[in-house]
Structure 1
Amino acid sequence: MRLWSLHPSLLDRQGLTAAWREALLAQAVLLGRTRGYTRHPQLERFRAQPDPAATIGAYLAVIAEEAGRRGYRFDSARIVTSGDAAIRPIPVRSGQVEFEWQHLLRKLAARSPEVHERVASGGPILHPMFEVIAGGIEPWERAG
């Protein structure tokens, strides 16, 4: 499961589809609707929020918006919203952003050279759910 800190506009078609599918799985986990992936480390940052379900819902909404911008039809009715808690930005360390950026660039170079060429010179853009803070790679990242 990869819940990108990067903006979904940077993803190729395969990456955007995978981001949607994996975030839906994360939503199911956070809502207690599945027994798999319950200990996945990338869920830690969502669980740390006052309303994890609303937070993952907001995360999914941005992916669905990007899909719609591209003419894809992701079923936004699958996004569950919950509670009235204000959704605050999730801090993400600068080292994590750089790690994800390099990881994405490698994937794009191999899988979608035209997308790689389009995004590589611009640098990383964050998903609006995140705000960058100083630091290295997040402790939950499996940087192996």
Structure 2
Amino acid sequence: MRIWSLHPGHLDRAGLVACWRETLLAQAVLAGRTRGYRSHPQLHRFREAADPLAAITAYLHGVADEADRRGYRFDRSRVDLPAPAPEHAPRLAVTDGQLALEWRHLGAKLAARSPEDAARWHGTEPTPHPLFVVEPGPVAPWERA
């Protein structure tokens, strides 16, 4: 499971679809609807949020917004809660070290499976998913990449 800290606009088609599906699974875990993946490290930062379901909801809507921008049809009815108003959307911290690690990881994935997207990606700077605020720091302790 990879719930990217990177903005979903950086992902190729396969990455965006996988991110959507994996985050829906994470939502089910956080809502207590499934037993699988309960101890997955990617869920750590959502569990630490003041309202984990609100945080995962904001994340999912951010991914769906990117899908809409590209003309894809992600089923928003699968998201447990409606999108929060921008002024009420939760924000989580992500370190610049974590963002850099994910940027390198994504670059390697794109080079292997999506050369056109890799060419578009090369030379750009990482931006975070709208849920995240970047702070200085190392790779997150929960990271397993």
TM-score by structure 1 length? Answer: 0.94
Aligned counterpart, 2:125: 123
Q: Greater CA deviation, 87-96 or 5-14?
A: 87-96
**Partners of 2:58 and 2:90 within 8 A in 1:** no
Q: Where in structure 2 are the equivalents of 1:1-144 lying within 5 Å?
A: 1-81=1-81, 86-143=88-145
**Deviations, residues 9-51 of structure 1 (Å, cap 9, x unaligned):** 0000100000000000000000000000001111111111111
**Partners of 2:3 and 2:23 within 8 A in 1:** yes
CA apart distance, 1:88:
2.9
CA apart distance, 1:87:
3.8
Unmatched segments (≥5 aa) in structure 1: none
**Deviations, residues 60-115 of structure 1 (Å, cap 9, x unaligned):** 00111111111111100111118x9x443111111110000000000001111111
Whichever residue aligns with residue 137 of structure 1, its letter is V
**Partners of 1:51 and 1:87 within 8 A in 2:** no
Partner SS state of residue 93, structure 2:
strand
CA distance in 1, matches of 2:91, 2:121: 24
CA distance in 1, matches of 2:61, 2:12: 18
Q: Where do 4+ consecutive residues of structure 1 move more than 2 Å? A: none
Partner SS state of residue 50, structure 2:
coil
CA distance in 2, matches of 1:10, 1:92: 17
Unmatched segments (≥5 aa) in structure 2: none
CA distance in 2, matches of 1:9, 1:94: 18
CA distance in 1, matches of 2:12, 2:3: 15
**Partners of 1:30 and 1:53 within 8 A in 2:** yes
